Amino acid sequence: MNIERVELQRLIMPFKASFEASIGRMDKRDLVLVTVYDTDGTAGYGESTSFPFPMYNEETTDTVWYMLERFLIPKLLSAEITSPEEVNDLFAPIRRNNMAKAALEGAVWDLYCKQKGISLAVGLGGKKTTIDVGVSIGIEPTIDLLLAKVEGFINEGYKKIKVKIKPGFDIEPMRAIRKQFGPDVPLMADANSAYTMDQLDILKELDQFNLIMIEQPLSHDDIIDHAKLQKELQTPICLDESIHSVEDARKAIELGSCRIINIKVGRVGGLTESKKIHDLCQAHDIPVWCGGMFETGVGRAHNIAITSLTNFTIPGDTSASNRYWVEDIVEPEVLLFAPGVLAVPTGAGIGYEIKPESVKKFLVRQESYNRQIAGVRE
């Protein structure tokens, strides 16, 4: 692939409005934009999905930068690779740090597809030309505010409404949504590991609301208690934080820990591993969907591409750019093709162009690394 140089840019981008989940409240995204260049100057783009604090998983923006600079970029620039799948194997000896791996591997995938003159979706084996998308709503200060947001997103045509829950903000919000909007609104709850088996009675109460799923109700690293819980619930459990690899997915499926899996590209270490998990789940009739991590247009493009695979049968969280950003860093902006629907780009690579002036506006740090002195700053 003739990879010659890698550039890291740290961006801090304010949200249009703050967002709260059980793990905390956020009002900005702190991310690493990764650009990989070949000898002809063609650029491939990826981005990190970590947060500034280790609350979703063990990674942070600082650790992602460190791992990229100290270990992953030197490995990439010292190797001769012919396809992005080889990056997954190249990084395998390094334990976890999946978001750092995914950011760099994603850039390599984009570059590879641009070199081949194909879209990222085609490169991954995707078949869809459009994807249905949902929206994620945080924990609101009042139920009235929550209902107003749900109404707005239903009117915009989103195909799934995901509501963050935590103890004390769970049964009543679901009851209010069902009472106001009826039984047919596609609704799910995301607990972000906020419950324990001691709260089984509360979780069983959620069965009455005909939810698509309850996402990750128990501990972030658990698949044993989730298997026990799934036997007690009519509602499908979806695993998110517990699944970091195709091996984790295999074990969860064999144990009966879930009936649905959320595939987040950053959480599992990249597009190659995401595709492996997709294929495994398809073979076991486990539907999957693509979760969101407040990505810019770069990460959204990667999510759209992976969601074009056939077993992504549940609408994901890849909403339009204007859901979170006053200004995105790509053009054209990621916009709905139709209510609740995004078009899968057909242009080479991710199908979007970077806006340098927007990147510069949010830039707080930048470093570049070349092949001649692998891993050393220019």
Strands (E), 22-118: 24-38, 43-47
CA 136 to chain centre: 12
Catalytic entry in 101, 264, 275, 276: 264
CA–CA gap between residue 250 and residue 329 (Å, rounded)? 37
Query: In this structure, are residues 206 and 236 in contact, taking their beta carbons and an 8 Å threshold?
Result: no
CA–CA gap between residue 365 and residue 378 (Å, rounded)? 14
Q: Is 264 a catalytic residue?
A: yes
Q: Is 361 a catalytic residue?
A: no
Measure CA of the first residue to CA of the last residue in the chain; give whole Å: 21
* Three-state SS at 366: strand
CA–CA gap between residue 307 and residue 275 (Å, rounded)? 10
CA–CA gap between residue 238 and residue 88 (Å, rounded)? 25
For the CA atoms of 78, 79, 84, 85, what is the dihedral angle to 10 degrees?
Answer: -130
Catalytic entry in 101, 164, 275, 276: 164
CA–CA gap between residue 149 and residue 155 (Å, rounded)? 10
CA–CA gap between residue 378 and residue 90 (Å, rounded)? 24
Query: In this structure, are residues 19 and 56 in contact, taking their beta carbons and an 8 Å threshold?
Result: no
Residues with catalytic function? 164, 264
